[in-house]
A and B are shown apart, each in its own frame.
Chain A
Amino acid sequence: MFYDEKIETMSRAELNELQLERLKKAVKYAYENSAFYTKMFDNAKIKPEDIKSLDDLRKIPFTVKSDLRDNYPFGLNAVPMDGIARIHASSGTSGKPTVVTYTKNDLEMWSECMARIVTMAGVTSKDVVQISFGYGLFTGALGLHQGMEKVGAAVIPASSGNTERQVMLLKDLGATVLVATPSYALYIGEMIEKLGLDIKDFKLRLGLFGSEASSVEMHKEIEKKLNIVSTDNYGLSEIIGPGVAGECSYKDGLHVNEDYFLIEILDPKTFEPVPDGEYGELVITALCKEAMPILRYRTKDITRIIPGICKCGRTFRRLDKFQGRTDDMLVIRGVNVFPSQIEGVLMEIPEVGGQYEIVVTRENYMDKLEVSVEVADSELLDNYGKLEALRSKIKHNLKTVLQIEAVVKLVEPLSLKRYEGKAKRVTDLRKF
């Protein structure tokens, strides 16, 4: 299913032409209207006219998250407040949040991007969609909300929290689609079991679970628990919010809305482009933004372009499942570890639940990785031997994937913290 078949299946040559035309415009617009970009271009001694081809994009310096913080709240803006229609902010881990702004046209473009994403996931006007993202400054809820409305689906703006009530709404209002973070979707699934309800009495058929990096195995676990097709989608507020990329029904990578977002995959050390198929940091240039232009934004997200054409017929290239943000990457005893790798290992072991916690400490100058996971299979409960065997199996599988030893802690079912929004499963207690 397509929202805009003509655009989504246009030839690469036509797409590149459109991208170049839009890029030139975007660069000129940013230089002339955003004080931040005027200064950046002047400092780098480049002019908008220097951008003559898509490759010339690489002449432009990167924009990074701290640029947004340093110019808090509106320093990147290219239009006066008169033209601003919406202000969102993302939670900052420390200090001030990152503020992003939208004109009316931006909101329209965003809705269109979202409409394409939800359509490619399989949502139609017949669907009833429960949005269990926290509404508010977070771009996730309103982004999905606008897209769902644009395709004509019935939206239940449930927001997050009060999980028992979420379950009641899902069931009583006959929701067919659920929007949540993957962690919250899993929690909702657990709550349905805990309340003794049968998932067959629900009409759910599809899930759009984004806003945090999630493993293929996690989506499989959600599919099993909620008896649905679980799809991933991607975006970040600095670029627009959700709506940058999403999975089609073939679920073989996330199609990027390339007519609006120019993507680069760069080696995070050298910043040289990597060939298609190889992992690197995703850098995005927004081609049609008015309120807050953004050029070559370093997402810190590690992914790769999946080579080849998707069976769905879209020509928009696909990003592979995200390994996580470079910010999330843990360096443990010199080895790079992504929490998503740990999640992948745990999800493939049926005797343990979907929730986990990772704690990294340093003892006697040695890093220690501790993974807590819930025992889900009550058949093991009466047997130390089986529990120890389970612990060894988890340790072994983690070692195989991560190349380092982990301490595995088995904990009681339903004892780890559940998350209604983005999960915070990693605690790094090391002092550097």
Chain B
Amino acid sequence: MLVNQIAVFLENRAGRLLSLSKALSDAKIDLVSLNIADTSDFGIVRMITSDNEKAMQALKEAGFVVKENELIGIEVDDVPGGLTKVLEGLASSDIDIEYLYSYAKSNSAKATILVKAADLEKANKTLKELKFI
């Protein structure tokens, strides 16, 4: 399954993440997953939202530069080894992963792994063949 992600370039400046969060909450957007890593002076916020179109509009109006792109979403059993199986599958087909994050809802036995692969098409095809998606 392909999942649309929103990416925002964020300066490492006091209050920037707050402004981003506020822009989304004011527009009544629910965050499904959010990911941000620490770097020296800037970061990329990556997120999946309840309504990407509305979220992008709200963020643009708040002065953020926003980009939408596609990830592969893989639903796995939320048990030890769930991620390992997927990674083994990708490794066996020589697929490079640029980054990956995941989310799991508390009342669900499933977790979703979100993968950004260098070659999205190839990764998608491989995972389909391996019946992961």
Known: A382-B7, A411-B41. 16 other contacts (CB 8 A): A378-B66, A378-B67, A381-B65, A381-B66, A381-B67, A382-B69, A384-B37, A384-B44, A385-B98, A409-B42, A412-B9, A412-B65, A413-B9, A413-B65, A414-B63, A415-B63
Q: How many residues of B contact A (CB 8 A)?
A: 19
Closest to A387 in B: B42
Q: Known contacts A412-B64, A412-B65: does B9 contact A381 (CB below 8 Å)?
A: yes
User: Chain A residues near B41 (CB, 8 Å)?
Assistant: 409-411
With A384-B39, A384-B44 given, is the CB distance from A412 to B11 under 8 Å?
Answer: yes
Q: Which residues does chain B contribute within 8 Å of A56, judged by CB atoms?
A: none
A193 to chain B, nearest CB (A): 13
Contacts of B39 in A (CB 8 A): 384
Chain A residues packing against B (C-beta within 8 Å) = 375, 378-379, 381-385, 387, 409-415
Nearest CB of chain A from residue B21's CB, rounded to whole Å: 16
Nearest 4 CB-CB pairings of A with B: A382-B7, A381-B67, A381-B9, A413-B65
Whether B8 sits at the interface, judged by CB under 8 Å, is yes
**B64 contact set on A, CB distance < 8 A:** 412
Bound form: Cα–Cα A387–B98 in Å: 14
Q: Which of B56-98 contact A (CB under 8 A)?
A: 63-67, 69, 98
> In the complex, which residues of chain A have a beta carbon less than 8 angstroms from the beta carbon of B31?
none
Q: How far is the CA of A411 from the CA of B42 in the complex (A)?
A: 7
Q: Do the beta carbons of B44 and A382 come within 8 Å of each other?
A: yes
Residues of B close to A375: CB separation below 8 A = 9, 65
Bound complex: CA of A411 vs CA of B63, how far in Å? 13
The 13 sampled A-B contact pairs (Cβ below 8 Å) are A379-B67, A381-B9, A381-B44, A381-B65, A382-B44, A409-B41, A411-B42, A412-B11, A412-B42, A412-B63, A412-B65, A413-B9, A415-B63
Distance, CA A16 to CA B110, complexed state (A): 90
CA distance A384 to B7 in the complex (A): 11
